[in-house]
Copies of this chain bind each other. A is one copy, B any other.
Amino acid sequence: MKIHCITVFAFLSFFTSSAQVDNTRNLMPVPSRIITNGERFPITQKFRVAVTGRPDQRLYTQASRFIRRLGEKTGFFLDKQGFVTTRDNDVSSPLLIKVKRPGKLELHENENYSIETSQQQVIITAETDLGAIHALETLMQLVSVDENGYYFPGVVIMDEPRFAWRGLMLDVVLHFMPMDVIKRTLDGMAAVKLNTLHLHLSNDQAFRVESKVFPQLQMESSNGVYFTQENIREIVRYAGQLGIRVVPEFVSPAHTTAILHAFPELGSVKKTYELERYFGVFDPVMDPTNEKVYLFLDKLYSEMASLFPDKYFHIGGDENTGKDWEKTPHIKSFMKAHQLNAFMDLQTYFNKRILPILKKNGKTMMGWDEILQPGVPKDIVIQSWRGNEAYYQSIRNGYQAILSYGYYIDLIQPASFHYLNDPLPKDIDLTKEEAKRVLGGEATMWSEHVTPETVDSRIWPRTAAIAERLWSPQEVNNVNDMYRRLDFASLNLDAIGLRHLSFKPALLRKLANGYDTKALETLVDVIEPLKIYERNQGDTMYTVFSPYTKLADVATPDQPLPRMFTQLVDSFLVSPSPSLEKKITEQLVLWKENHDLFLMTLHNSPVLKEAESLSENLSRMATAGLEAIGLIHQHQTADNNWLQQQQTLFKNAKEQGGRCDLQVVIPIEKLIKSAGR
């Protein structure tokens, strides 16, 4: 394993290529059925696209984009067909797309498609343009190459989604995400057949949409950073062109500090509210006993509802501490008068007041787990984040639900973890009717610790694995095969313009103060940011003003090198071949020697001080690992004294540094322990 550059795992290996395998086995998500027919359709300068039937115009946009992408991939100047238009309907065209009717951009619309490629032609058939657009993404992934040039391998694909709701929630409040991030995120979603963008638009730190009814919201509660209504329309339009619905979330009654900053009279406690600069759960909450609150939300939600054509409207409803209610006498009296025993009953009262506002705007209410309380009507949709149990409980209770528990991509867990989290596992005890209420799922990208620069690396490529879980048949669940195909997906996303790979060198240069980043590259390949909620200790380390350009920001989740190194060590310990020994040794030598280089980098960039212990521990672990390899090689057994010393080393090496931890401690520990046996 020769490690020459940070990007080594961003490449496919030449070795793979020499077999000249086409891309039929590399698709992500895997289609329902795929049969190869041994033929091939060669891609040439003469490539053209024709469309027949009655698609929505979005198909022409995407077909034109397909031509552009194909031109970029193959280098062909496909200039003759600048745009695909209704005049392009020659059924003998190289690519023929046949669509029955315009797709409606709504839940449960038909998204099925088939592709048939032969020597003569490529034919896409779909009920709606939404299916045809998915087909174009599959086709793009199919482009293969050998000594004769670019071609589509001969296949028959019949494909359909397993779940109707396949979403990504993007939080644009805790850190704002500008239009270019939104657009490229939508491009990435379309590439893996996700169909719902859920925008989290208000919270304690800001209100992120221009309101013409209450302009104070953006003027006073966004620090000048928000989407204009024109921006929102552009997002909805752009998403719609890709076949993606946009669901807005405006949280109430808690997580409303930003609203209360502009309208303190709506708060439960009469005081001034400052915009929250920390992240977490806070007490400010709207006063559900105040009729002005409902008048306000009627106007605000109606205005926002008109901006988002989708049928679903998310009101959040999560993480109400209830403290500001409990300490306010008139609210306590109100609860007593209305026989509301717990504050969650009061929130249900509040939600029931909100429901008619949404209904008259033609919207279905959606909220996090907490909105599900006794007495809430069945025609709302629950987004489950607190656990699978609660999720199935709500399904059984007659509610439609989507799963987000297990899809929290902000928590830096590996793709395999998310991949095996099935919204409707084989062994679950649900009736057929109940199972129908399992709408699907949503990856959630909370933005406490990401910026426009780093957010792609938290979303991608892991979200492609979640997308496959939500699209492909349940039986597609081999983790190793998923990781193999994730490499292709990652490069596909990279080619589309996602920055999960390309953000790294720039941030490393910044961290190294402009000097050589080699030592950092080696280190960053074997560390990950602290997982779950450990990074922001006590919720007090970071604020919205903190620099997110540090080691924990350039480090990415689910590092491939530690995974591969662990496999190497496991294989070696089973059967210690010289070639495995050589590979492991080379890797350990690199890590051992890296610390001196790191110290030179640190010398020029004191910002790296917080990572010194990580680098030192990596070097020490590698040194001990090399000693262990030496002993194993000589068929010797380590003495107990030496083994004892290593215990301290293991312990230290598991400590965090710069809010990251080393990912190769366990395999090296295994090596060392095995030298003691």
Question: Chain A: residues with CB nearer than 8 A to chain B?
Answer: 4-5, 7-8, 10-14, 17, 68, 71-79, 82-83, 145, 147, 149-150, 178-180, 223, 228, 230, 277, 453, 488, 491, 494-495, 497, 499, 501-503, 505-506, 509-510, 512-518, 542-547, 549-550, 600, 603-607, 610
Q: Once the chains are docked, how many angstroms separate the CA of A13 from the CA of B515?
A: 6
In the assembled complex, which residues on chain B have CB atoms less than 8 Å from the CB atom of A603?
A: 17, 147
A494-B509, A502-B506 given; A604·B75 CB < 8 A: no
In the assembled complex, which residues on chain B have CB atoms less than 8 Å from the CB atom of A76?
A: 547
Contact B72 A549 (CB under 8 A): yes
Contact B505 A547 (CB under 8 A): no
5 pairs of A and B residues whose beta carbons are closest in the complex? A75-B607, A180-B180, A491-B514, A71-B547, A502-B506
A71-B546, A79-B277, A79-B543 given; A509·B606 CB < 8 A: no
Q: Which residue of B lies closest to A604 (CB)?
A: B17
Contact B75 A550 (CB under 8 A): yes
Contact B515 A11 (CB under 8 A): yes
In the assembled complex, which residues on chain B have CB atoms less than 8 Å from the CB atom of A494?
A: 506, 509-510
Q: Once the chains are docked, how many angstroms separate the CA of A68 from the CA of B175?
A: 14
Q: How many copies does the complex hold?
A: 2
Q: Once the chains are docked, how many angstroms separate the CA of A10 from the CA of B509?
A: 9
Q: Which residue of B lies closest to A7 (CB)?
A: B505
In the assembled complex, which residues on chain B have CB atoms less than 8 Å from the CB atom of A506?
A: 494-495, 499, 501-502
In the assembled complex, which residues on chain B have CB atoms less than 8 Å from the CB atom of A11?
A: 509, 512, 514-517
In the assembled complex, which residues on chain B have CB atoms less than 8 Å from the CB atom of A518?
A: 4-5
Contact A547 B72 (CB under 8 A): yes
A544-B82, A545-B68 given; A14·B604 CB < 8 A: yes
- Identify 11 new A-B residue pairs, CB closer than 8 A, beyond the known A4-B518, A8-B516, A502-B503: A71-B546, A72-B510, A73-B513, A74-B607, A77-B546, A149-B606, A180-B180, A495-B506, A495-B509, A501-B505, A502-B506
In the assembled complex, which residues on chain B have CB atoms less than 8 Å from the CB atom of A5?
A: 4-5, 518
Contact A547 B75 (CB under 8 A): yes
21 example contacts (A-B, Cβ-Cβ < 8 A) are as follows: A5-B518, A8-B516, A11-B517, A14-B515, A14-B600, A71-B545, A71-B546, A73-B513, A77-B546, A82-B543, A82-B544, A145-B604, A145-B605, A147-B603, A178-B179, A178-B180, A491-B509, A501-B505, A501-B509, A502-B502, A502-B503
Contact A145 B606 (CB under 8 A): yes
In the assembled complex, which residues on chain B have CB atoms less than 8 Å from the CB atom of A7?
A: 505, 509, 517
A515-B17, A516-B14, A604-B14 given; A547·B77 CB < 8 A: yes
Minimum Cβ distance to chain B for residue A576 (Å): 29
Q: Which residue of B lies closest to A76 (CB)?
A: B547
Q: Once the chains are docked, how many angstroms separate the CA of A103 from the CA of B671?
A: 67
In the assembled complex, which residues on chain B have CB atoms less than 8 Å from the CB atom of A505?
A: 7, 501-502, 505
Q: Once the chains are docked, how many angstroms separate the CA of A150 from the CA of B547?
A: 16
Contact B145 A513 (CB under 8 A): yes
Contact B604 A545 (CB under 8 A): no
Q: Once the chains are docked, how many angstroms separate the CA of A149 from the CA of B501?
A: 31
Q: Once the chains are docked, how many angstroms separate the CA of A17 from the CA of B514?
A: 10
In the assembled complex, which residues on chain B have CB atoms less than 8 Å from the CB atom of A228?
A: 230
Q: Once the chains are docked, how many angstroms separate the CA of A68 from the CA of B540?
A: 19
Q: Which residue of B lies closest to A658 (CB)?
A: B75
Q: Which residue of B lies closest to A74 (CB)?
A: B607
In the assembled complex, which residues on chain B have CB atoms less than 8 Å from the CB atom of A501?
A: 505-506, 509
Contact A223 B83 (CB under 8 A): yes
Contact B502 A514 (CB under 8 A): no
Q: Once the chains are docked, how many angstroms separate the CA of A4 from the CA of B6?
A: 12
Q: Once the chains are docked, how many angstroms separate the CA of A515 from the CA of B72?
A: 16
Q: Which of A72, A230, A494, A515 has the most CB of B within 10 A?
A: A72
Pick from B12, B72, B179: contact of A179, CB below 8 A.
Answer: B179
Contact A488 B514 (CB under 8 A): yes
Q: Which of A82, A230, A277, A514 has the most CB of B within 10 A?
A: A514
Minimum Cβ distance to chain B for residue A224 (Å): 9
Q: Once the chains are docked, how many angstroms separate the CA of A78 from the CA of B545?
A: 8
Minimum Cβ distance to chain B for residue A582 (Å): 21
Q: Which of A506, A544, A607 has the most CB of B within 10 A?
A: A506
Minimum Cβ distance to chain B for residue A174 (Å): 14
In the assembled complex, which residues on chain B have CB atoms less than 8 Å from the CB atom of A512?
A: 11
In the assembled complex, which residues on chain B have CB atoms less than 8 Å from the CB atom of A453?
A: 497
In the assembled complex, which residues on chain B have CB atoms less than 8 Å from the CB atom of A4?
A: 4-5, 518
Q: Which residue of B lies closest to A277 (CB)?
A: B82
Q: Once the chains are docked, how many angstroms separate the CA of A75 from the CA of B606?
A: 8
Q: Which residue of B lies closest to A69 (CB)?
A: B547
Minimum Cβ distance to chain B for residue A452 (Å): 9
Q: Which residue of B lies closest to A81 (CB)?
A: B545
Q: Once the chains are docked, how many angstroms separate the CA of A494 from the CA of B503?
A: 11
Q: Which residue of B lies closest to A78 (CB)?
A: B545
Q: Which residue of B lies closest to A597 (CB)?
A: B14
Q: Once the chains are docked, how many angstroms separate the CA of A79 from the CA of B517?
A: 28
Q: Once the chains are docked, how many angstroms separate the CA of A502 from the CA of B504?
A: 9
Q: Once the chains are docked, how many angstroms separate the CA of A512 from the CA of B7?
A: 13
Minimum Cβ distance to chain B for residue A147 (Å): 7
In the assembled complex, which residues on chain B have CB atoms less than 8 Å from the CB atom of A145?
A: 513, 604-606
Minimum Cβ distance to chain B for residue A232 (Å): 12
Q: Once the chains are docked, how many angstroms separate the CA of A5 from the CA of B605?
A: 21
Q: Which residue of B lies closest to A179 (CB)?
A: B179
In the assembled complex, which residues on chain B have CB atoms less than 8 Å from the CB atom of A550?
A: 75
Q: Once the chains are docked, how many angstroms separate the CA of A82 from the CA of B225?
A: 14
Q: Once the chains are docked, how many angstroms separate the CA of A8 from the CA of B4?
A: 13
Minimum Cβ distance to chain B for residue A539 (Å): 14
Contact B515 A12 (CB under 8 A): yes
Q: Which of A277, A515, A545, A607 has the most CB of B within 10 A?
A: A545
Q: Once the chains are docked, how many angstroms separate the CA of A83 from the CA of B224?
A: 12
Q: Once the chains are docked, how many angstroms separate the CA of A605 from the CA of B143?
A: 12
Q: Which of A4, A73, A499 has the most CB of B within 10 A?
A: A73
Q: Once the chains are docked, how many angstroms separate the CA of A562 from the CA of B75?
A: 27
Q: Once the chains are docked, how many angstroms separate the CA of A516 from the CA of B77?
A: 25
Q: Which of A150, A516, A546 has the most CB of B within 10 A?
A: A516
In the assembled complex, which residues on chain B have CB atoms less than 8 Å from the CB atom of A517?
A: 7, 11
Q: Which residue of B lies closest to A8 (CB)?
A: B516
